[in-house]
A and B are shown apart, each in its own frame.
Chain A
Amino acid sequence: MSREAPRRWGERPPEQLEKRIVIGPEGEVIARSGKVEYGQGIRTGFRRIVAHELRLPEEAVRVELGETDVVPWDGGTFGSMSTQTDGQALRLAAAYAYQLLLERAAARLGVAPANLVARDGAFHATDGREASYAELAAQAPLAGPLPAAADVAFAPGPDFEPEPDRVEARALVLGQVRYPHDVRLPGMLRGHVLPPPRPGAHLVSLDDTAAKALPGVVAVVHEGDFVGVLAERREQALQAIQSLEATWSDPEGDAEPPLEAQLRQDKDVEAALASAKVRHEATYHTPHIAHASILPSAAAADVRKDGADLYVATQRPFGLRDEAAAILSLDPKDVHVHPQQMSGMYGGGGWGVAALDAIRLSQAAARPVLVEWTRAEEFQRSAQRPWLDAKIEGAVGPDGRIVGYRSHVRTNPHIYASGRVPPEVAGMTSGRNAVPPYDLGQMDVSLTVERAQIQTSAFRSLAAAPNVFASESFIDELASLAGVDPLELRLRHATDPRLRRVLETVGAMSNWPERPRGDGHGFGLAATIYHGTYCAEVAEVYVSQSGKVRLGRVFAAVDPGRLVHPDGARSQIEGGIVQAMSWTLFEETKVSDGRITTRGWRDYPIATFRDAPEKIEVRFVYDMETPSTGIGEPGSVPIAAAIANAVCAATGARVRELPLRPARIQKATR
């Protein structure tokens, strides 16, 4: 088998039916996707789409995700869009398979397709004769390139009835779901790696005498800068790591010039700004934050001379397969990636560093190895969300319209370990949502991407959440300077009817015109269009004398186009809101001298039951004819600005730096 040619950004191989849908001899249907499930419910959504097109009960369809031996190649599960794209591919494949089966049935039974009824995995003619999917599929391979969507008849609907339980929900409450941590292989050892204190540091000396003498220690692995231990038990491996005496060199700084990108440049921006009655400038800052999955990273590897099996939680099984193959000098087809349940990684789980630990240790031991990181390691070895600074200027004319907007965003790469990316990629990632979705007159939006002191990577919505915190805070500041209601000001500049609709809906949900204001109680609004999904949110806050913020109700109006799985979508929006309110109020990774010093939950508090909003109301406003867009990320995007705007309404304190710590709010109140 020839190796697959490397693919360029955004490029996908052509779709083949046989890679997507397989109908077995018993009529069982397998639907395949290279995407992975990490709690966003895609297994359920995909199953439902395929079952609907094939006119089958949902239980008749099994979905296989990310098993690299069988599923179509995939670039990774990033961004809620990519799962939607795959959902559409599955829908097309299922509809096409149905069409082929129908044609075969019509030929076999000598009946016009229109006179056949599909039920329970068979086509039925009016005279009682039938042809099952299984026999029709056995007749000749169901295969070939997928036709264009316009050439396929889709099942009418969707009149989706009551929501199914998520496919894995029952296994989850029974504790039967298997995360990589739970993989137990015959002869398996526990491994642990000693990471360099800073990326790029080299090992100068190693004394492993004490470690080797510890009970249960099987080996200390030392190859160049790679140091790890193998032991019978997890605690023993950890203890051995702690007994190693290592010294490291300081990494050589690679002074890489920053990357500049112009995201929008209209004419005469300076003239527009200078002409206006009210001109304002402000700078916003968001810090590094951690993905902070509840289970630290883990992976099991079984490396043999002729192949390897990897039991991992990853957002990019094929990427990991190819990297492992390169490290082990194996053909990628001999590396088998078996995705396990993923403890939520929120966009940061693609890189599989724990898997690389396990691969190297298993290769050295010639035995299966399970690696489980500690909580401190999870904070310290994981790439963090980039920090972001936005300097924004804007101006409002005498008629209360914004006439000019200029913003300069500085941040770090959102693609882990990437070399230099082309400017358009930087714009799509680090510049995501830096251009506000309104008509703000003459606009100039530019971006600088520079390396941080530590590794940075993608995080739910990439730069959109920080960018929207800045721009939607700024819009509120302009509203207040111009003496215009913040909802009214946004509506004045929202030309997109779907944006207007979510703004108006969230205004009605929150009873915006009657909202309480001042005395430590306030409402704040923010909106975004994130990858085609429209989302407007209102947060209600109570701010104590000491500056502590408590969230009351949160209202969200969301337009994701056609909805496949409404309760799953609602759960994603709610979760996005809770996670992002946590970023907003509490979170900051501590970095000192190029190292992450955050070690555990005590120095990285996140929102708990006590902090979660009193109530979250989500309303979907959409048209069935509009194609679906993602719901995993948009809910998390506007909330920081909505909260900051609410804090300002409650106290008069405009805080432009996250997290919104009590001390910052108190200082801004004075």
Chain B
Amino acid sequence: MRYELSVNGQPHVVDVPAGTSLTSVLRDDLGLTATRLGCGHGSCGACYVLLDGSAVASCTMPVDEAVGHEIVTVEGLSQDGHLHPLQEAFLKEDAMQCGACTSGMLISAVALLEENPHPQEEEIREALSGHLCRCGVYGRIVMAVKEASR
């Protein structure tokens, strides 16, 4: 099936079996591998993307449902070589070890700050609670989001 998608401000046409997950289309058809596949059933947060500005799991979203929406992945967060303030803050706080969770974390943090530019620590923890980090970097990620919200 042919699908027209808008990803990081660019139009794309893909030809994939109906029902293919948005994660697979991004990673395998568009080569946008910053979106990670951690579980495939919506319970780890690694695959989150922005869909019209909201953070959603792309692994449980069939590509059909993404048509007509504006999708942003981590590749689309920086603009002309300038890092997004959250990317800067993650660097400053060294808020990552292996990095497997980082893309998903960034996406949900971007969505949070769009909606709530000055969140309390509790709100940050709540907003990111669908994202697992096995390296245990949670504290530094909270610091990074606070840093970016200043």
Q: In the assembled complex, which residues on chain B have CB atoms less than 8 Å from the CB atom of A181? A: 27, 33, 36-37
Query: Nearest-CB distance from B112 to chain A (Å)?
Result: 12
Type the 1/0 row for A163-178, where 1 means its CB is closer than 8 Å to any CB of B: 0011011101111111
Given the complex of chains A and B, what is the CA–CA distance between A646 and B133 in angstroms? 25
Contact of B61 with A by CB under 8 A: no
Contact of A616 with B by CB under 8 A: yes
Size bracket of the A interface: 35 or more
Q: Which of A170, A174, A600 contacts B39 (CB 8 A)?
A: A600
Contact of A54 with B by CB under 8 A: no
Given the complex of chains A and B, what is the CA–CA distance between A172 and B77 in angstroms? 13
Give the interface SS of chain A, mostly helix, strand, loop or mixed.
Answer: loop
Query: Nearest-CB distance from A215 to chain B (Å)?
Result: 7
Q: Is the pair B129, A374 in contact by a Cβ cutoff of 8 Å? A: no
Contact of A613 with B by CB under 8 A: yes
Q: Given A38-B98, A343-B98, A568-B94, are A174 and B87 also a contact pair (CB < 8 Å)?
A: yes
Q: In the assembled complex, which residues on chain A have CB atoms less than 8 Å from the CB atom of B140? A: 571, 574
Contact of B106 with A by CB under 8 A: yes
Q: Is the pair B136, A172 in contact by a Cβ cutoff of 8 Å? A: no
Which one of B38, B90, B126, B135 has the highest number of Cβ atoms from chain A below 10 Å of its Cβ? Answer: B135
Q: Which of B37, B99, B132 contacts A608 (CB 8 A)?
A: B132
| A63-71, A220-228, A288-296, A588-596: which lies at the interface | A288-296
Q: Which of A165, A176, A344 contacts B91 (CB 8 A)?
A: A165
Type the 1/0 row for A579-623, where 1 means its CB is closer than 8 Å to any CB of B: 100100000000000000000111000111110110110000000
Q: In the assembled complex, which residues on chain B have CB atoms less than 8 Å from the CB atom of A615? A: 139
Q: In the assembled complex, which residues on chain B have CB atoms less than 8 Å from the CB atom of A216? A: 17
Q: Given A170-B91, A174-B74, A567-B94, are A610 and B38 also a contact pair (CB < 8 Å)?
A: no
User: Smallest CB-CB separation from B33: which chain A residue?
Assistant: A182
Q: Is the pair A574, B91 in contact by a Cβ cutoff of 8 Å? A: no
Q: In the assembled complex, which residues on chain B have CB atoms less than 8 Å from the CB atom of A612? A: 125, 136, 138-139
Contact of B44 with A by CB under 8 A: yes
Q: Is the pair A39, B98 in contact by a Cβ cutoff of 8 Å? A: yes
Contact of B69 with A by CB under 8 A: no
Query: Nearest-CB distance from A359 to chain B (Å)?
Result: 22
Q: Is the pair B135, A575 in contact by a Cβ cutoff of 8 Å? A: yes
Q: In the assembled complex, which residues on chain A have CB atoms less than 8 Å from the CB atom of B78? A: 174
Q: Given A39-B99, A344-B134, are A173 and B139 also a contact pair (CB < 8 Å)?
A: no
Interface residues of chain A, those whose CB is within 8 Å of chain B, are: 38-41, 165-166, 168-170, 172-179, 181-182, 184, 215-216, 233-236, 292-296, 341-344, 346, 372, 374-375, 567-568, 571-572, 574-579, 582, 600-602, 606-610, 612-613, 615-616
Q: Known pairs A39-B98, A173-B90; list 11 more (Cβ under 8 Å).
A: A169-B96, A181-B33, A295-B37, A343-B100, A344-B134, A374-B40, A375-B39, A375-B44, A571-B94, A609-B129, A615-B139
Interface residues of chain B, those whose CB is within 8 Å of chain A, are: 16-17, 20-21, 24, 27-28, 31, 33-41, 43-44, 46, 73-75, 78, 83, 87, 90-91, 94, 96-103, 106, 124-126, 128-129, 131-142
Task: Write 6 A-B pairs (CB below 8 A) sorted by A numbering.
Answer: A235-B20, A294-B132, A294-B133, A578-B137, A601-B43, A612-B125
